[in-house]
Amino acid sequence: MLCKEVLERVPSNDQTKILQMRAAIAAGRIGDPVLIPILKKIAASRDYGLAQWQARTAIKEIELSAISYKSKKLQYLKVALAESGNVRWAVQELLTINDSESIGVLKWAANEKGLAGAQESRQALAVIEAGNKK
Instruction: Please state the domain extents for the chain.
Output: 2-64, 67-133
Q: How far is CA 21 from CA 27, 38, 119, in A?
A: 10, 13, 28
Q: How large is the average pLDDT for residues 79-108?
A: 95
As a whole number, the mean pLDDT across the chain is: 94
Asked if the model's pLDDT at residue 132 lies above 90, the reply is no
Evaluate if residue 133 carries a pLDDT over 90. Answer: no
pTM to 2 decimal places: 0.86
Q: In the predicted model, is pLDDT for residue 62 greater than 80?
A: yes
pLDDT of residue 64: 96
Q: Are the CB atoms for 96 and 90 separated by under 8 Å?
A: no
pLDDT value for 134: 64
Segment holding 110, helix H or strand E: helix 100-110
Instruction: Please report which confidence band the pLDDT of residue 131 belongs to, taking 50, 70 and 90 as the band edges.
Output: confident
* Dist CA 93 CA 108 (whole Å): 15
Q: Which of 119, 117, 129 is nearest to 93 (CA)?
A: 117
User: For the residues 55-84, what does the mean pLDDT come to?
Assistant: 96
Give me the mean pLDDT over the 17-37 stretch: 95
